[in-house]
Amino acid sequence: MSRLYDYDKKQWVNVAEEDTTRLVAEGTHGFEQGIDIPVKDAKGETFYIPSDRAHEAFRDGLSFGDNKAFSASANRMSEEVIAKHYDSPMNAMELP
């Protein structure tokens, strides 16, 4: 499932991953702003783009990457944030 904003309902909704590309390309739904999302090219290679470029990218033929790839990206980003903000032994003690 993908979590998208439904512009008609003015609320966040969960949609099947197989519908994500179509709904965003049509302009009826959108991703959270300020994040990177996984997309696949025609060869099936996954890479990341800013969420505000998804509509254009999907209209140009890219498709939404799977949530497994997205989750892996989010985990890497979390590790980077932790490393950035808790890089000293004193700060590391603040982690739960």
Instruction: Look up residue 22 and give its DSSP letter.
Output: H
Claim: this prediction has a pTM higher than 0.75: no
Task: Render each residue's pLDDT in the chain as its tens digit; 96 residues.
Answer: 889 999 999 999 999 999 999 999 999 999 999 998 889 888 888 888 999 999 999 999 999 987 665 555 544 544 554 454 444 444 344 434
**Alpha-carbon distances, residue 58 vs 5, 38, 42, 75 (angstroms):** 16, 12, 11, 24
Could you give the CA distance from residue 21 to residue 42 in angstroms, rounded to a whole number? Answer: 13
